[in-house]
Chains A and B, each alone.
Chain A
Amino acid sequence: MLTIAGTEFSSRLFLGTGKFSSSAVMAEAIEASQCQMITVALRRVDLENPDDDIMSTLGKREYTFLPNTSGARDAKEAIRLAKLARAASGTSWLKLEVTPDPRTLLPDPVETLIATEELVKEGFIVLPYMNADPILALKLQDVGAAAVMPLGSPIGTNQGVLTEAMIEIIIEQAHVPVVVDAGIGAPSHAAYAMEMGADAVLVNTAISVAGDPVVMAAAFAKAVEAGRSAFEAGLGQSVKQASASSPESGKLSTDLGFLA
């Protein structure tokens, strides 16, 4: 069972709710994913369409909501968004995102560290989105991050876990849960991250823009479960020299003298 800040999660798949074609598809995909943690963003109300409210779809269900600070370009903006998110959600869970460059959407490590420290002091449960930097992961952990969320590859690119060597070090060193976030584009990527020992993965684009998001959500659920089971079972070591799977003794060619 995954525990973050004292809350237990039986599902290790976290789902983002962006870019779904409709609220109905989103709700069905969430159901199929069996996830218990879902991210949401904060934006100005579209005053031309005041009835367009995602919480009317999601609010009735029992999820842990993880509001993000997407759009924040520095620590100050992220802290402002965090406070709005807490007022809107009534919870202190927060996915901290500080992305100054709209082209790469890569997280600013300095501002992320500053904002994490400040928000932890203000009682937030902070899960910072970060580059896959093992030193930064430890610093974020030291200032009180409840988990760290290193990126597999840039947001929305579906390129998979390109940062694997660094994520392996983060997993080895971190005492807080490691959630691989961003860039996971296929169930195999998610399974791979889980096999490496990630505590969870956060997926959005790969599901929401799939041909059939509901079937894809179910596929990710299976992949995450399979990857976790494989990690717990203990993977065999990768070696260069061939080693027979079948017994070496009793082969017809040697023991019966055929072709000898």
Chain B
Amino acid sequence: MNISLNGEQKTISGIHTVTDLLNDLTLIPGSVVVELNNEIIQPDSYDAAVLADQDRIEIIRFVGGG
């Protein structure tokens, strides 16, 4: 399955949900915000958020800034 992850095209396999994707990327769920096709996914919905071919996923977090 092909997805757009933070603006880059990726081919993934064995990853079905947002939880799987965060685990694969070794990201702690509470430390990031996930947007799936421009919709924010709440952490309690990560397990239920099933990924599909051509999905656009943004994984975002706070950084230093003024």
Do A55 and B66 form a contact, CB below 8 Å, given A84-B40, A87-B40? no
The answer, yes or no, to whether A254 is at the interface (CB within 8 Å) is: no
Do A44 and B66 form a contact, CB below 8 Å, given A87-B33, A87-B40? no
> At the interface, is chain A mostly helix, strand, loop or mixed?
mixed
In the complex, how many angstroms separate the beta carbon of A26 from the nearest chain B beta carbon? Answer: 7
Do A44 and B59 form a contact, CB below 8 Å, given A50-B26, A55-B31, A87-B40? yes
The answer, yes or no, to whether B65 is at the interface (CB within 8 Å) is: yes
Residues of A within 8 A of B31 (CB): 53, 55-56
Residues of A within 8 A of B59 (CB): 44-45, 47
B61: contacting residue among A16, A18, A26, A53, CB under 8 A: A53
Residues of B within 8 A of A20 (CB): 64
Identify which of A35-43, A119-127, A186-194, A227-235 touches chain B: A35-43
Residues of B within 8 A of A156 (CB): 66
Q: Provide the bound-state CA to CA distance between A205 and B65, in Å.
A: 10
In the complex, how many angstroms separate the beta carbon of B59 from the nearest chain A beta carbon? Answer: 5
In the complex, how many angstroms separate the beta carbon of A18 from the nearest chain B beta carbon? Answer: 4
In the complex, how many angstroms separate the beta carbon of A128 from the nearest chain B beta carbon? Answer: 14
Contact B27 A18 (CB under 8 A): no
Residues of B within 8 A of A44 (CB): 6-7, 58-60
Interface bits A137-172 vs B (CB < 8 Å: 1, else 0): 000000000000000000110000000000000000
Interface size (B, Cβ < 8 Å)?
Answer: 22
The answer, yes or no, to whether A116 is at the interface (CB within 8 Å) is: no
Closest to B64 in A: A17
The answer, yes or no, to whether A24 is at the interface (CB within 8 Å) is: no
Interface bits B18-44 vs A (CB < 8 Å: 1, else 0): 000000011100011101001010100
Q: A19-B64, A44-B7, A45-B27 are in contact. List 12 more A-B contacts (CB 8 A).
A: A16-B64, A18-B65, A39-B66, A41-B62, A42-B61, A44-B6, A44-B58, A45-B59, A70-B65, A70-B66, A87-B42, A89-B62
| 22 contacting pairs across A/B (C-beta < 8 A) | A16-B65, A17-B65, A17-B66, A18-B64, A18-B66, A26-B64, A40-B65, A41-B65, A42-B61, A42-B62, A44-B58, A45-B25, A54-B61, A55-B31, A55-B61, A70-B65, A88-B32, A88-B62, A89-B62, A182-B66, A202-B66, A208-B64
